[in-house]
Chains A and B, each alone.
Chain A
Amino acid sequence: MPVGGGIRDSKALLKRFGVALGILGIAGLLWTFGRESYKAASFPRSPDPAVGRIFPDNVHGIVIFETRSQKRDSDYIEVASFSMLGLSLVLSLIYRKRSGAQASKSGPGNTPTI
């Protein structure tokens, strides 16, 4: 296989992976947005120790109380979403750098966009 084809393949893979991570990250943020809106409307605004809703969460100034597992799950998804989005951003920069390097070798007028 020619070397140039291998580079293109790895770049394509990088892009697919980066786009997938970005979409997953955005999907996680969308889920968080919907979940927090639901919490603000439906969750109790004072602690309810009987069911374990004792962990406060601020939703745009509204303090609601949720269980440990609910808070943990929300935090995990939030962190995972930002991590994937951040990684996607880093990969896009790498992709751009590689594309720029390849374009400079190929000559002007061949600079791809990220």
Chain B
Amino acid sequence: MKRGELQINLATNIAIISMSMLFATLFMGYAIYRSSAPVWPPMGMMKISLLLPTLSTIVIFISSFFCYFTTANIKKNDFSQARRNLNYSILLGVSFIFLQCLIWSHMKSIGLYTHSGIFASITYALTWIHAAHMIAGLIALVYLKKILKPETSNLIPKAKNIENFWYFLEIVWIVMFLTLFVF
């Protein structure tokens, strides 16, 4: 492995470990709150409808596929196809953020405000923090679009690591989807 590639891989992996610790702390807090509550969601609170979270999951899942194909195209030197797949990935990423806004709007409509207790606190905090990371991920994808030229040095490791970051965000979302909304 070349030095540049190793450096990019290491830096991304360390950054992902750091972010994993942030989310792990949040999930630890969630586990403690939930396990110490007599009922969940607490009395008088409705469960959030699964429709929008499920749609979000499908959207981020497909977006990751396009991200995967982008890197595969770059490896084959097919830059026009890579650009197209990257555009789809970005578009789906933006759609995910839009769906998150709909989830927050839905939460308000069923009376779940930020000050409505720990159930709402957890749901808002995790989705907000994840959405902030998604925006960082989208910026990374737009950056990849900007450098998507054959002459860019270390293009494949850069694309691969941005793809890995996108997967990381997808995995965090899936854990959130299962623990916050499904079970």
Q: Do A and B bind each other?
A: no
A-to-B contact residues, CB < 8 Å? none
Interface residues of B (CB under 8 A from A): none
